[in-house]
Structure 1
Amino acid sequence: MDYSFISNRVVQYWDEEDPPSLLRERMDNWRLANPDFSYLCFNRSSAASALGHLYGESLRKAFLSIRLPAMQSDVFRVAYLHACGGVWIDAASHCLEPLHQWLNLKSSLVLLRRPNMLAPLASNGFIYSSVPQHPFLAEAMKRVAAIIENRQGNRIWRLAGAGMFRDILSDPAFSMSVQVLEWASVSAFIQFGSSKEVMSPDSHWTVRHNLEPLYFD
């Protein structure tokens, strides 16, 4: 696999090799609507291999120790875009318009706010990175690596998700180089979905993280 830095690439994740048909259709829509972008979809195995190549065996093993797919995805998006760039889009999200119609490809890092999110909160469900090792992602990567290599924490949202993004964006040293788009400006182009649409309620991370350890070891 090519691990060179490419900003015009859509990157997605589903822990299993074959995503549910509903999500596969949405993922295919992103690929087909954006022919000027290459496309990669990672699963747990291929993501672990990528992390091993990019960061070494310790991080690969730490990633494989993560029990919940939602946390796997949170960790992988930060690590991959930090090293290789591209557009991260959650698998359940709907493509309503091609990226080139609304995304400023000259921005170094772009995030979105979901409805009712107030600054400094921002979603990690869409991330565009056009420069290698962007300072925001470098800080996120430093935090994520320390957390999973030491098997720390019990709150996914705060450890590696939007809560962590909020904490980093609270520091002007990092937020000054990040463009955060408000939901009203992008709602005609992208619609967020949820993995709840394809799994039973007790299988979703919002339930499981209260009942199960975050790590296998």
Structure 2
Amino acid sequence: MPSRIDMTDGPEHHRQRSEFIRGLVQRSDTKASLNDRYEQAPPKTIVQFWHDLGELPADIKECIATWARWATSGYTHRLFDEDSAREFIREALDARHEDAFERCYHPAMQADYFRLCYLFVEGGLYVDADDVCVSTEIDSLFDDGRLKVQPLCYDVASGAMVNTARFLSVDAYEPSWIFYVNNNPLIASKRHPIIERALQRATDLLQDADGSVLPEIQTTTGPGNLSRSIFERGAESAEADGELVVLRDWESFAVSRWPLSHRNDARNWRLSNQQRFRRGEN
């Protein structure tokens, strides 16, 4: 656990966060003790989101089908769009969360925020619509209720992601590396404290944002928000170690399909970060 935590959002906080997640990712004891609270498995539900199902791209539909097929094997597959996600939030949470969802100005941001809402309320597996399931089994993802996340590492010096096998090696390190976790996939039991913290932080940031400036997606609702929530939970609670599982082998379950039709237009959040999105922009 980090000492003398810097909770301000400055360089030292980012460094401590990266070092903390590096410790989680590279530790040799990959099976941390299971907190009794998480012995019960999450529901066998696969949840996905695409903002406009009336204009679902054919290539995204193909990706989604690789997850929907698990409905014949005892799983429930739920596909939401902007309208049904808003309705879920309205009925399951409160006006504050609905208002925060309304402030999500891009489909990727809506997906980020909705997955936190859904998993907090119901639990299950959330996976992005552009991931393709390549595994012949997914039962092991549901073996207990701990939060399961995919580790990532970015090299600032080269401006590129670090190969997973390389950064997972114990003691692998470069000063320019940033360790963090993805918010895809997310697997957890309902009301998981890390999901709760990430949802609360995203809600606060969305509601507190200056109306004249659109908040940055990654740090507000995406992997940056989740990584910070994990770090701060670990700093305050000795139980955090038993609440989390790092999926070092996620690529054996799913791969992100590339290229896809939406990656070169406004539907790609990297091209539209802090820019207002409107349906039909492609």
Range of TM-score over shorter length: 0.7 to 0.9
Counterparts of 1:45-194 in structure 2, within 5 Å, are 45-114=83-152, 116=162, 120-130=179-189, 132-151=190-209, 154-171=215-232, 172=234, 173=237, 175-176=240-241, 177-182=243-248, 185-193=249-257
Q: Deviations over 1:152-202 (max 9, x none)?
A: 5621111111111221222323741110112xx2322211236x6122624
3-state DSSP class of the match of 2:47? strand
Q: Deviations over 1:104-145 (max 9, x none)?
A: 522421111247366851111101112x21110110111011
State whether residues 148 and 246 of structure 2, in contact with CA within 8 Å, keep that contact through their aligned partners in structure 1. yes
Does residue 205 of structure 1 match 2:269? yes
State whether residues 70 and 76 of structure 2, in contact with CA within 8 Å, keep that contact through their aligned partners in structure 1. no
- CA shift in 2, pair 1:206/1:189, >3 Å: same
Q: 1:26 aligns with which of 63, 79, 87?
A: 63
Does residue 8 of structure 1 match 2:74? no
Taking structure 1 as the reference length, the TM-score comes to 0.84
- CA shift in 2, pair 1:82/1:48, >3 Å: same
- CA distance in 2 between counterparts of 1:189 and 1:53 reads 32
Q: Which has the larger radius of gyration?
A: 2
- CA shift in 2, pair 1:64/1:103, >3 Å: same
Q: Runs of 4 or more off by more than 6 Å in structure 1?
A: none
What are the ranges of 5 or more consecutive residues in structure 2 without an aligned counterpart? Answer: 1-40, 153-160, 168-177
Identity rate, percent:
20
> Which range is displaced more, 119-128 or 73-82?
119-128
What are the ranges of 5 or more consecutive residues in structure 1 without an aligned counterpart? Answer: none
Count, aligned residues = 206
Taking structure 2 as the reference length, the TM-score comes to 0.66
State whether residues 49 and 79 of structure 2, in contact with CA within 8 Å, keep that contact through their aligned partners in structure 1. yes
- CA distance in 2 between counterparts of 1:136 and 1:82 reads 9
- CA distance in 2 between counterparts of 1:99 and 1:59 reads 35
